[in-house]
Each structure stands twice: as structure tokens, then as C-alpha cells.
Amino acid sequence: MSFQNQAKKTETSQPVTGHSAPETVVPPRGALITTTAARLTAVLRIAIGLVFLWAFLDKTFGFGYTTPPARAWIHGGSPTAGFLRKVDVGPLAGAMRSWAGAPWADWLFMIGMAGVGVALLLGIGLRIAAVAGSAMMMLMWIAEWPPAKATATGQATGSSNPIIDYHVIYALVLITLAALYAGNTWGLGRWWSRLIGKNRWLV
């Protein structure tokens, strides 16, 4: 018996009932994420969240890593002055130097770092965190201006790639985490999704 005849026999031998058998829905290739992948994505989310939150805490309290205690925010130091005053290359170099130490710049930067860090750790508001975090990364990318090989004074910038640097990677990771609903695993993503209802932009 050929394969075709056997297939026809199998089809006609099924009992006929009043209800049609439910169809098996096969998801498109790549539409599912495995349990292992979901957990690894959650680990990545938490790790990136700790990066942002640590930067906020170190600049606030001065743990002595990138921020000495004397320059801590709570002791009157500026979270943005040290970085922005050194900007000497790129189309916005002059503007960014003028922002150094400005209270509005300090507050926006610190709120952004804390907000993105907390959102990632809890697994909520990942879309807003992706937008805010990517905007900060873009500004930092412009401040360092990787396309330049030398500063205005002729010193080497140390750039190793004119386009892709760690700021771009961080931004892509934030966007990917939001797209994968990374907060649903080891986070409060599912609870948050029910809480916000139809306001999907808050996911």
C-alpha cells in the first residue's frame, strides 16, 4: 500500500461526530521562547538593572568606585559635572559642557538612572524604561562621539568603532528586553500587565 493510500485510509477511518475536532495551531517559527531562554533573559534584565541602579547609588552616596565620597550627590557633588566638562568632541560638545553641573541636568540624569534600574529589576514599565534608557545612551554616545579619532586638541579619543559602542549595545538590550516581555519571568510583569489594563504603552 502506498503512502498516499494509507493517508487517505487514515483520514476516512476517523469517526464522524457532531463536533469538528479542534485544529492544532502551530505558531510561526521563532514566535516562542523556551523556558531556558526566558530565564536567561530575566537574568540579563536583572543584571542590566543593577548596572543602572548601581550608577545611581554610587553617584548619590559616593562609594569610592567612580565617585569618591567627597563628590557624592548628597554631599553637594554633581553627578553630571565630571563627565560633561570633559566633552571636547562632537557636534554638541559646547552645549554639553554648558550643561555640566546644572541642577536640571543632574536631576534628569539621576531620575533616569534610578527609574530605569528599578523598572528592570522589578520587570515593570519596560517600554518606558527602554525609551528613557535609550535616550540617555544616545546622549552619552553623542557626548563621547565615537566617529571622531581625535579631540579638538589633537589627542586620541580612544574610539575603537565609529558607530557601535557600549552605549548602542545597552540601548539595543533595553529595547530587546521590552520586546520579549522580560518582566514576565522572575519579575512583576504579569501582575503589572493586569494592573495597567489597556494602557499597553506602560507595559
Q: How far apart are CA 75 and CA 37, in angstroms?
A: 43
The answer for residues whose C-beta is within 8 angstroms of residue 136's C-beta and 6 or more apart is 109, 112, 113, 116
Place of cell 494592573: 195
Average pLDDT, whole number, for the chain?
89
Query: What pLDDT is attached to residue 153?
Result: 84
Q: What pLDDT band is residue 170 in, cutting at 50, 70 and 90?
A: very high
Q: Is the pLDDT of residue 84 over 50?
A: yes
Cell of 155: 589627542
Q: Give the integer Cα–Cα distance in Å for 53 and 85.
A: 23
Cα–Cα nearest to 192, from 182, 178, 202: 202
Cell numbers for 198: 489597556
Q: Could you tell me which of 148, 177, 153, 181 has the C-alpha nearest to residue 165?
A: 148
CA–CA gap between residue 132 and residue 113 (Å, rounded): 9
State the pLDDT confidence band at 33, using cuts at 50, 70 and 90.
confident
Q: What is the pLDDT of residue 30?
A: 52
What pTM value is reported for the model? 0.83
Lowest pLDDT segment from 93-107, 114-128, 143-157, 173-187 = 143-157
AA identity, residue 199: N
User: 126-148 as b/e, with b when 16 or more CB fall inside 10 Å?
Assistant: bbbbbbbbbebbebbbbbbbbeb
Kindly state the average pLDDT of the residues 57-73. 97
Least confident of 50-64, 70-84, 122-136, 149-163: 149-163
